[in-house]
C-alpha cells in the first residue's frame, strides 16, 4: 500500500510540472497570436485624393484632416464636405486595409447625395499610423464617436454648423463590428450599412489568426480567443456579440451585406438579421458575388452595382433628415 501511494505521489509530482508548463505555453501562445494580429499589415495607399482629383472634380475637394480622440490620441481621415444641414456618413474599412479602399465609394456617395463623407484610418492602419495596434473594435468604437464629435464642429463659410442631426455608418468586417457598437451608443447614428459582420470581436481575432496560420487553425483560433482575455485585461475590447448589440438598436435603418467570398462572415451576417428589434427596418443581401468584403478583383460593373446598392440605401434612409 505504501509503495502504491509513493508511486502515485511520484507520478503526480512528475506530471504537475508538465501540466503547468503546458498551460503556460498555451496561454503564452494565445497572447502572442493576439499580439502579432494586433499589428495589421500595411501597404501604400491604393489611391490618394491627389490622383483622384485628376479624374473627378469632387475628388479635388477632398481634404486630409486630423482630430483628437476621446482618449487623447490622434485620428486622421479624408473629408468630403457636403451641403449645409445634410447628414454625414462615416466609412470604416476592414482589418488589414485602409481608408483608400473606400475612397472611390466615398466620392460616389458624395456626388449622389451631397452628404458630408468622412473616411478615417482605423487604429493601427494606414501608412505610419499614430497608434501602432488595433483593438479589434474596442477603442475603435470610441474613436468613431470621436469622429462624430469632430464632424459636429465643422462650419460653413459663414460660420454655421455644416452637419445635420443624423449620421450613417458603412463598415466592413472590423468596420462593421465597430459601426454596430458605435450605433448602440449613439442614437443619432440612424442608418447603418454593414458588410461581412463578425459574430464578435473575438471571432474577428479568430478569423484573422486562421487566415494567417491556416495549418492547425482550429487550435490557433481557440488559443487566440483565450489570449484576448489576458492581452486586453487592462485595455478596451468589445466583448458584446453583434447580435446583443443589434438588440439595442431600435428605430434604425439597417442594410446587411455578405457573400460566399467570405463564408466565415456570410453566416454570421445572415444570422444577425433576426437580432434587431421589430421597430428597425432591416434589408439583408447575404449571397452577393462579389460582396464588398473584397472588390479588388471585381469588374468595374460589379463594383459599381455594389456601390449603387449602398448609396441608394443611404440616400433613401437619410435624405429626409
Domain CATH code at residue 107: 3.40.50.1820
Q: Residues 153, 13: one domain?
A: no
Q: Residues 206, 193: one domain?
A: no
Burial of 255 by CB count in 10 Å (0-12 exposed, 13-18 middle, 19+ buried)? buried
Burial of 240 by CB count in 10 Å (0-12 exposed, 13-18 middle, 19+ buried)? middle
Evaluate if pTM is beyond 0.85. yes
Task: Please give the Cα distance from 203 to 174 (Å, whole number).
Answer: 11
DSSP-assigned states of every residue in 154-203: -B-TTS-B-EEEEEEEEEETHHHHHHHHHHHH-TTEEEEEEES--SSHHH
Q: Residues 162, 185: one domain?
A: yes
Task: Please give the Cα distance from 282 to 247 (Å, whole number).
Answer: 12
pLDDT in single tens digits along all 321 residues of the chain: 555 555 555 555 555 565 566 555 666 777 888 899 999 999 999 988 888 777 788 888 999 999 999 999 999 999 999 999 999 999 999 999 999 999 999 999 999 999 999 999 999 999 999 999 999 999 999 999 999 999 999 999 898 999 999 999 999 999 999 999 999 999 999 999 999 999 999 999 999 998 888 776 677 788 888 888 888 887 888 889 999 999 999 999 999 999 998 998 999 999 999 999 999 999 999 999 889 998 888 888 999 999 999 999 999 999 876
Q: Give the domain range for residue 22.
A: 1-37+201-237
Task: Please give the Cα distance from 65 to 258 (Å, whole number).
Answer: 31
Q: Residues 32, 69: one domain?
A: no
Q: Residues 72, 127: one domain?
A: yes
Note the pLDDT of residue 283. Answer: 96
Q: Residues 184, 247: one domain?
A: yes
Q: Residues 115, 264: one domain?
A: yes
DSSP code for 256: E
How many domains is the chain built from?
Answer: 2
- 293 and 264 Cβ atoms separated by less than 8 Å: no
Task: Please give the Cα distance from 205 to 37 (Å, whole number).
Answer: 7
Q: Residues 49, 6: one domain?
A: no
Note the pLDDT of residue 176. Answer: 98
Q: Residues 301, 186: one domain?
A: yes
Cell of 136: 479589434
Q: Residues 175, 216: one domain?
A: no
Among 260, 261, 258, 257, smallest CA distance to 296 is for 261
Q: Residues 6, 141: one domain?
A: no
Buried residues in 198-218 as b, exposed as e (16+ CB within 10 A): bbbbbbbbbbbbbeebeeebe
Q: Residues 231, 97: one domain?
A: no
Amino acid at each position: 500500500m505504501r509503495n502504491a501511494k509513493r508511486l502515485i505521489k511520484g507520478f503526480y509530482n512528475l506530471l504537475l510540472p508538465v501540466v503547468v508548463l503546458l498551460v503556460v505555453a498555451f496561454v503564452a501562445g494565445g497572447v502572442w497570436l493576439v499580439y502579432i494580429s494586433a499589428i495589421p499589415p500595411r501597404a501604400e495607399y491604393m489611391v490618394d485624393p491627389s490622383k483622384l482629383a485628376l479624374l473627378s472634380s469632387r475628388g479635388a475637394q477632398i481634404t486630409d484632416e486630423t482630430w483628437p480622440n476621446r482618449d487623447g490620441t490622434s485620428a486622421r481621415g479624408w473629408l468630403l464636405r457636403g451641403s449645409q444641414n445634410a447628414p454625414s456618413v462615416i466609412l470604416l474599412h476592414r482589418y488589414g486595409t485602409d481608408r483608400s479602399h473606400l475612397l472611390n465609394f466615398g466620392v460616389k456617395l458624395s456626388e449622389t447625395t451631397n452628404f458630408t463623407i468622412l473616411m478615417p484610418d482605423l487604429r493601427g492602419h494606414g501608412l505610419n499610423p499614430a497608434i501602432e495596434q488595433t483593438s479589434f473594435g474596442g477603442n475603435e468604437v470610441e474613436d468613431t464617436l470621436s469622429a462624430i464629435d469632430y464632424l459636429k464642429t465643422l462650419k460653413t463659410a459663414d460660420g454655421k454648423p455644416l452637419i445635420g442631426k443624423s449620421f450613417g455608418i458603412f463598415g466592413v468586417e472590423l468596420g462593421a463590428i465597430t459601426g454596430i457598437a458605435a450605433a448602440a451608443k449613439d442614437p443619432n447614428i440612424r442608418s447603418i450599412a454593414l458588410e461581412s459582420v463578425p459574430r464578435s470581436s473575438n471571432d474577428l481575432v479568430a478569423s484573422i489568426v486562421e487566415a494567417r496560420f491556416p495549418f492547425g487553425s482550429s487550435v490557433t483560433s481557440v488559443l487566440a480567443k483565450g489570449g484576448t482575455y489576458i492581452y486586453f485585461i487592462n485595455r478596451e475590447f468589445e466583448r458584446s456579440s453583434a447580435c446583443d448589440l443589434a438588440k439595442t438598436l431600435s428605430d434604425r435603418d439597417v442594410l446587411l451585406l455578405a457573400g460566399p467570398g467570405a463564408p466565415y462572415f456570410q453566416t454570421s451576417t445572415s444570422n444577425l438579421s433576426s437580432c434587431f428589434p421589430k421597430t428597425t427596418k432591416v434589408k439583408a443581401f447575404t449571397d452577393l458575388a462579389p460582396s464588398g468584403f473584397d472588390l479588388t478583383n471585381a469588374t468595374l460593373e460589379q463594383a459599381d452595382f455594389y456601390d449603387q446598392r449602398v448609396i441608394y440605401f443611404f440616400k433613401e434612409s437619410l435624405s429626409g433628415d
